[in-house]
Every structure is written in C-alpha cells, then in structure tokens.
A = this chain, B = another copy of it.
Amino acid sequence: MSTHSIQTRDPDPAPIFAALGDRTRLSLVMKLSDGQTRSIAKLSADTEITRQAVTKHLRVLENAGLVSSSRVGRESQFALRPEPIAEIRSYLDEVSRQWDDALSRLRSFIEQ
C-alpha cells in the first residue's frame, strides 16, 4: 500500500478537520458532494489558482481519505468519499452531546 490514499479507519479525526480547513479544499468537496466524478481540469476550470495547486489540494484531500481518484484514459477522475465526513460528524455529535448533558445537569441542579 502506498503512503498516498490512506483510506483505512483513522481513529484521529484531526487530519480530516485539517484537510477541510482550507477554503479551496472545502469548495472542491462541495463541488464533488453531488456524487459526480470530475477530472482535475474540470475541477480547476473556474478557480483563480493554477491546475497544479488544485492538484496539490486534491492530493491532500485524498491522503485524508476524503476523495478517491482513478485514472480513466488521460484524465484523473476524483470522487467524494463520505466515510470521513460521517466520522467527524459523529465526533462533533459527541462533543455536542456532552455539552448538552452538562447543560441539562446544570439546569436540574439549579431547579433543585
């Protein structure tokens, strides 16, 4: 297995958050969130930055497991992978749940 495209379950959500912590990469994720597959050329068509910069961002997303790529003819097709998104969603749900629990405990304490 190469060091690229690590798609195994990662118990640490920080790299996923880090991969999403960039405007350009977030917009790439949004473009791919319709389930369609897109080439690098198409993904860098309406951006200010160069194709190479977009490619770098796509590799970052791929290393975080957020997208997958496959060569089709002369172009690389990229697709969104929803698993890491589900992972950090459940992580944030856990944080919110702890927060809500603490709040309701405080509320019931006050009402005593």
Q: Chain A interface residue count: which class?
A: 35 or more
Q: If the complex has contacts A13-B26, A29-B95, are A36 and B82 also in contact, measured as CB distance less than 8 A?
A: no
A39 vs B52: C-alpha distance in the bound complex, in angstroms? 44
Residues of chain A at the chain B interface (Cβ within 8 Å): 12-23, 25-26, 29-30, 33-36, 80, 82, 85-86, 88-89, 92-93, 95-96, 98-99, 102-103, 106
Chain A contact surface mostly: helix
Give the distance to chain B from A79, nearest Cβ to Cβ, in Å: 11
> A33 is contacted by which of B13, B22, B26, B98 (Cβ under 8 Å)?
B98
Instruction: Identify the closest chain B residue to A23 (Cβ).
Output: B14
A21 and B21 contact, CB distance less than 8 A: yes
